[in-house]
Structure formats: structure tokens, C-alpha cells
Structure 1
Amino acid sequence: MNPKFVLPNFIILIVLFSCIVAICSAEILFTDSEGNQLTFPGPAEKLVCLNSDSAEMVVALGAGEKIIGLADSVMSDTALMAHIPNAVSVGNWQTPNFEKVLELKPDAVISYSSSKPKNSDQFLNAGINLTYLDCYRINTLDHDVKALGTLLGASDRADVYVKFKDKWQNLVSSRVANLAPDQIPSVYIEGYSDYSANGKGSGVDQELDVARGKNIAASLGEQWPKVTAEWVLSQNPDVIIKAVSLKPDKTLEQVRDGILHRSGFETLSAVKNNQVYALNGDLAYGPRSPAGLIYVAKALHPSLFKDIYPDDVLKEYADTFVSGVEKGEYYYPVL
């Protein structure tokens, strides 16, 4: 064999092998919110986001232009939509328009794991595996944003968000660490519907764990147990926090006033001591929740957080991740 041909052929084999390795290494792997290990051939370029929190997190990672489909509820968020120029509506987040999603040919369809689409079987039967990334509970935000960063090829940006979130969470944890048991207030957390409590493991419950509050619904065995006025009265919480899905016809002050004037509630310690708070769900859950955590901490332990304001956290978030969201009605009363 002529040695002149052996070396070039050997070099060609090395180049081919390197190309194969590079192609294989382009595959990305991550675990979703359900613990499923997912594999994609490369970073996703086209996304459909059925949950608003994942859509906002995609924007926070600097990839809003990759979102091509959104649920109706997200399309109405003007501050967020300013960063999502290419998206069209795919209908209701619980029953998305399957044909429309199929027509868009997304690389990934992202949904809540806790509230899956009712027609998810349609997607599975068509070979479309839903990617479950909640992006709303403060205890799992680190995992979810890192998984999303991997999916988008934006891991560095995900790390920046994790540092932002951890900074504020660690600050709260350090300030409440030495509280005595009798300094921990009991709290009734109410969800969007009247007498729909936030139980153990729910979004605001996790913020209570960090800020040292005792959730009176934690022992009811459900994340969102339905309770009654009589039950709340029997528990007599020190603090009431109402999570609100803000509607244009009602302000947070009006929502709070509605709680204050519920029959029998004038006997509650929370009402007597003016410890009733209304918190916009956009701050209670999701990427903006570090600001919500500061509000909850100030509500529970005002003397420990006199020098910190949720507006400052929200401004930092807007300046660093999603501009425009610092404007809006987020809580009442202002702390």
C-alpha cells in the first residue's frame, strides 16, 4: 500500500469521526417537572407555551422570539407580549387547539405538570410529547429554569436568574432563621376562588415556608382544598393572604375590602389587626415570585424587613430579565 494514500485516508476518517461526535453531542437531555428525562436533537427554536409562567421564563432567558404559539390568557398580557413578536393564539390553555399546534410544527410544547391539558391524549397520539415545566413554584424554580435553559441553549442566562432568585430567598431565610415558635403567625392563604385554600406544597405555601408562617390549611391533605367560612372562623388566622387573578373591573383594594366584609370575619384576628393582604397572582407565582416572597415576608414580619421593598425586587427583575413588567397593580396594601 502506498503510504502517500494512507495518511490522507486516516485524516479523512478522523474528520468524519469528529463530525459524528459533534452531531451526537448536539443532543440535549434534561428532566421535566414530572421527573421525565427528555431528549431533543438540539436546542429548540420553535416553542408553543400553554402556561404563562413558562412563556415568561422563556422571555426572561432572552428567547421570546422563539415562542410561536401561546394560550389566550398569555396573549392579553401586553407587557409580556412586547417581548414575544412571533406568537399566535392556540386557544385555551386547558384545551388548546390541537390542529393549530400541529400546523405550527413546534420543537416543543410546554405545559403545566400540575394542570395538564384535557386533550393531552391528542398530542401523544400524534407523536407530540408535551414538555412539563411549571416555572411557578419558588421551590422548583431553580430546576425548571435550568431545564428550560438547557432546552433553549441558554444555560448561562438561566444561571443568572437562579442567582437573582437565590439572593432574595436566602436574604429572607437568614432574617427569619432565629424566630421563636410564638413569633410565627398562622396564615390563611386563599386562591383565586373564594374559600379555595392553598394547602401544603402550593405556590404561596412554599413562600410561607421560607418566610416562616404557619399555613392553617397545610394539614388538609390537598394542595388546593375547598374550605368554608365556618372553617376559617374556627381557625382564626393571624394573617390572611388572598391571591388574585386581576380583572379590569375590580382593584386589589376592592378584593381586600370584600374579604374584610365577609359575614363573621370581623371577629378574626387578621381583620381586627389589619393583617389582610391581596397579592396579584403574577407576583405570588412564577418568575416574578421573588418579589412576591418579599411582600409575604414583610406582611408576616414587618419589623424584620423595614429596609426592603417588593418594588425594588420587581424593578431589578424588570431591568435584568423582562422590561415593562414593573408597571402594574401587584399588591394591596402597599408595604
Structure 2
Amino acid sequence: MKNKNITIVGTGAYGTVLANVLTDNGHNVIMYGIEESQVNDINENHINSAFFRDFIINDNIKATNDFAIAIEKAEIVVLSVPTFALDSALDNIIKYAKNPISIINIAKGLDEDKLDLLSNKIFNKLKNTNILKNLGALYGPSVAIEVILRKPTCVMACSKDIEFANIVSDLFNNEYFIVKSTTDIAGCEVASALKNVIAIASGILQGYSASDNARASLITIGNAEIFEFAKIFGAKLETFMNFATLGDLILTCSSFKSRNFSLGIAIAEKNSALSALKYHKKTVEGVSASKIAYSLIEKHKINAPLFEIMYKILYNNLNPSILINNFFKYAKVV
């Protein structure tokens, strides 16, 4: 593939590791960030110490806090921002993009206002402009620190257009970062958002010293319930055997590097979600995802008892021990 000019919006951990992958593959990458210290760190020291201490990244990566400069030559834009910052990023693209671009979203979440997919949010915001050329996403089990160390990782390139999914795959694919293609962007998006709720539940089991058997069962039930949500958006059952779905779920539910798993442990230790969240400084996506999931349950009458229990633990301060005592008997699997 011919080298591409790629802009990554965001200088966070995962955006940084993807910049590293892309520059390892010979592409021209510039990152846009609002934190001047991170921008300077990348340009001057070839590190992003806010996330990776002194781990050296590819010295061909450039960074700027000027959005107009960042997108000036972009052929492809990777959206690496939290879901709450997505509107702002899209507004900047509309304002500063001068040529049609392809967009790859890596934000994990759902549109809380419309209870919809982020891909639909992006498409609807840009559909009446001449900016959007292609739209896709990249999801899968990929702890940032492991990718920066170039340890083997497998993820999914997602797009309704299989040709663009294959382009995304070719952009990122190399000997340590393996990328497969799928057209089921809906299934991958929903799984990537809702697996964080199950990870909190898994952490609660860990905190109460539950068995490995219990966690295996929880992951199985969680995967089945996530599909109940995903099929509303047209997802396919076979999708729930790929890296972005089952793979990411297993990782997030078992890794101590997962913020959601760690929050679950803290909830069990304090025997209260309210107490744990009061002292948990880091953003934990599964908390907001649980609220969105509960709204979807009510709107579409989804049978998802595990998600209902998690909502009550996180938002009604239900005693978290109820998870161990109740979710198995209501379990529904595919």
C-alpha cells in the first residue's frame, strides 16, 4: 500500500500506540492534541510520558495543537477521543477539512442522547458535507502498553464497506499488530461499548474471591446478553466470535490493567459502588455504558438480567454481593 497522510485526533494512550503502528508501517502521521506538554513530549523527546513513562515511540511521529495544521494534508483521520469529545472533534473536521477524508473511529461507546451507534452519529453529522469519503472503525483486545512494546495483538477493522475495511486492515497490519476485516460494524461497536459493564462485574467477582468457574460463566452470559443488544442494530451472531467481541470481552474481564475490572474489585472491597466511585479518579467507561444499556433495555424490552443488576449496583447502590447470589439463576445464553 502507498504511504498515506494520516491524522490522529487525540494524544491519549491508544492514539499514541496506533500512531506508532502506522509509522512503523511507513505512513506519515501527525497527532492533534490539546495538552501542550504531550505535544512537546512527542515532538522533542519521542515519548508520551503521561502514559508510557520513558518508552520511546517512532521518531517520525509529529504532533501539534493546531487542528488546521493537523488536518491540512490528511487523507485519513483516526478519531481517538473519548465519546464526550466526539462532537467537538467532528465540528473541527467540518471547520478545517478542505478535502474529502476517510474516518476511522476508535472511541468505544454509544450515543447516549439517541441511544444509537457512534458510527451513525458520525455519519449523520457529516452526511450533508462533502467531507466524508469512507467510514470505519478499529476494535479489539489491545492493552496500550503491550502494543507500544510491539507485543502480538489481534484486532478487527470494521466498515459496512468491505473494501474500506480491507484498506483499514492493510493500513495497520504488520508482524505484531494483526488486523482482520468485518462488515459488522454494529456488532463490534456494541460489544466494544458494553463489554466494560461485564468487566466491572468480573472485577466484583474477583474482589469477593469468587472462583474462576464463576468468571468463565459470567463472561459467557455477558457475551450472550451483549448480543441481545447488538442484534437490535442488525448485528450477526457469528460476529460474537471475533477479536472485537469475544476477544475484547475476555481481556477486559480478566486483566488487572483494565480500569473497569479494577473498579469492580474496588466496589467489592468497599461493598458499595457509591463509595468506590467517590475515590476512583480515572474515567471508567463501563459506568456510563451501564446507564445507556439500561435505557436500551427499557426502550426495546431487552432480556438482559445481568445488565439490569449492574445498573442497580452502579446507580441505585444495590449491595454488590447480590451479583454473586442472583445473576446465575437468571442467565440466558445464546
Do Structure 1 and Structure 2 share a fold, with TM-score over 0.5?
Answer: no
* Larger Rg computed on CA atoms: 1
TM-score normalised by length of structure 1? 0.29
